[in-house]
């Protein structure tokens, strides 16, 4: 594995020397090695041909070969690294460039504003993982299924918890469990790096079961202190069509004496379109036994209103791509507003994920969204940090509106 920050090679392409230096400085402050730099597309292309570049941070507006032309050339050259679009241009322009890059088969990690926030930069850089074809090309050791199986056996895969709170009162309502691999030498590994491998290698059900067991044990502890806490877990699409995890879930709850009503299972929209019949059967059975069902990343996938109506969901989770700074963007706001109306009309609880600032919080509260999850409230954290988070949140969190 070569995902240590100091092993990743970065290239900053930005014509403005001052902005370039600021970004390079921020990258180094996050523990990455000194990035390569280029002042225009030509120079960047030449560098990419001479040396390995894992992540390219690309300005769009540059004299000569601009960002768009550079991306096209990179794609023709078979560039396999991650790309971060750095731009102060309007959201819809950057979105169009992102779609163009997707069409060229490039891997865009996300968009960074100017000036870049350090947190957002850290998040985008951390989201990069070498893809399989690169790994097979021998540019770095693989995470193999055997590594993951060993990690599972050694208890290195653990749930971290991100708080969910009421937008009306600020009250702590529950947590979403998010998988983390506490690797003995590489530190914390994000789920994007091992969940797809787990899905491909038949390890996803044991992994999820392991997380659920830990989640239920932790929930038991929180319930002793507050009976209103709920636990949300992510279910992979694989578990909706293969294996017997869904049946095991009920047994796990029974063995701990925890009512399924306290558990919400989050599935993405794309998960249940893979095999609608099979998914529908399993989701209906889970719902029948009392589990809550949440439609995750709502708005990014394939779901039609008809599917929403067909499937027994109890909660709708607005994807963070719409939520983030929705108060500054009329289009996002319109999407959120109509989705919330829809959710309320069909009796679904609404949860906004990815709330990062007060402006977004206020806007969602005004629109009557039920619950909020995001860095503004709290980052995902190990379970023993939740009590401290809660006491801080009670002291400083948003004051309920009259």
User: In the set 54, 205, 266, 269, which binds Ca ion (CB under 5 A)?
Assistant: 266
User: In the set 380, 383, 386, 390, which binds ligand C2E (CB under 6 A)?
Assistant: 380
Closest CB to ligand C2E belongs to which residue? 374
Q: Which does 15 bind (CB under 5 to 8 A by kind): Ca ion, ligand C2E, none?
A: none
Q: Establish if 125 lies at the interface with ligand C2E (CB under 6 A).
A: no
Q: Establish if 264 lies at the interface with ligand C2E (CB under 6 A).
A: no
CA pair distance 186, 172, nearest whole angstrom: 33
E strands in 291-385: 292-298, 315-318, 349-353, 371-373
Phi, psi of 149 (to 5 degrees): -60, -40
HSE-CB for 387 with a 13 A CA cutoff: 9
209 with 248: CB under 8 angstroms? yes
Residues within window 37-96 making contact with ligand C2E, judged by CB under 6 A: none
Per-residue contact track with Ca ion, 182 to 221, x per CB under 5 A?
----------------------------------------
CA pair distance 5, 115, nearest whole angstrom: 22
358 noted as active-site residue: no
Q: Establish if 356 lies at the interface with ligand C2E (CB under 6 A).
A: yes
Structure tokens at 266: 């989050």
With a CB cutoff of 8 Å and minimum separation 6, the contacts of 24 are: 12, 34, 35, 37
Q: Establish if 264 lies at the interface with Ca ion (CB under 5 A).
A: no
Provide the minimum distance between the beta carbon of 78 and ligand C2E in the complex, in angstroms, as a whole number: 28
Q: Establish if 208 lies at the interface with ligand C2E (CB under 6 A).
A: yes
From the list 176, 266, 353, 371, the catalytic residue is 353
User: In the set 61, 156, 182, 191, which binds ligand C2E (CB under 6 A)?
Assistant: 191
SS3 402: coil
β-strand 349-353 against 315-318: which pairing, if any?
parallel
Residues in touch with ligand C2E (CB under 6 A): 123, 162, 178-179, 190-192, 195, 208, 211, 234, 236, 266, 296-297, 320, 353-356, 374-375, 380
């Amino acid at each position: 594995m070569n995902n240590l920050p100091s092993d990743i090679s970065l290239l900053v392409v930005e014509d403005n020397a001052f902005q370039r230096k600021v970004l390079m400085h921020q990258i180094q402050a996050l523990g990455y090695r000194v990035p390569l730099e280029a002042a225009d597309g030509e120079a960047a292309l030449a560098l990419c041909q001479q040396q390995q570049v894992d992540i390219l941070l690309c300005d769009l507006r540059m004299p000569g070969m601009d960002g768009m032309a550079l991306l096209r050339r990179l794609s023709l050259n078979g560039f396999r690294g991650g790309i971060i679009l750095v731009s102060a241009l309007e959201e819809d322009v950057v979105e169009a460039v992102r779609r163009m890059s997707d069409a060229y088969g490039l891997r865009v990690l996300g968009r960074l504003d100017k000036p870049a926030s350090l947190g957002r930069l850290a998040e985008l850089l951390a989201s990069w993982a070498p893809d399989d074809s690169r790994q097979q090309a021998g540019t770095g050791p693989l995470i193999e299924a055997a590594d993951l199986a060993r990690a599972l056996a050694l208890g290195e895969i653990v749930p971290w918890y991100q708080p969910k709170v009421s937008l009306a009162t600020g009250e702590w309502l529950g947590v979403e469990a998010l998988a983390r691999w506490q690797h003995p030498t590489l530190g914390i590994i994000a789920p994007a790096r091992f969940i797809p491998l787990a899905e491909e290698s038949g390890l996803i059900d044991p992994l999820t079961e392991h997380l659920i067991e830990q989640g239920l044990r932790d929930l038991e502890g929180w319930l002793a202190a507050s009976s209103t806490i709920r636990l949300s877990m992510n279910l992979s699409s694989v578990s909706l069509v293969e294996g017997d995890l869904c049946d095991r879930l009920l047994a796990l709850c029974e063995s701990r004496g925890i009512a399924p009503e306290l558990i919400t299972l989050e599935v993405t929209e794309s998960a249940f379109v893979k095999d609608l019949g099979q998914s529908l059967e399993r989701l209906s059975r889970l719902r029948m036994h009392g589990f809550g069902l949440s439609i995750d990343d709502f708005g990014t996938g394939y779901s039609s209103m008809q599917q929403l109506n067909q499937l027994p969901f109890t909660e709708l989770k607005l994807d963070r791509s719409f939520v983030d700074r929705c108060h500054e963007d009329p289009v996002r706001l319109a999407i959120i507003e109509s989705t919330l109306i829809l959710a309320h009309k069909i009796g679904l609880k609404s949860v906004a994920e990815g709330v990062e600032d007060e402006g977004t919080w206020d806007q969602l509260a005004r629109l009557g969204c039920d619950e909020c999850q995001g860095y503004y409230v709290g980052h995902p954290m190990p379970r023993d940090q939740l009590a401290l988070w809660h006491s801080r949140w009670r002291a400083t969190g948003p004051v309920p509106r009259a």
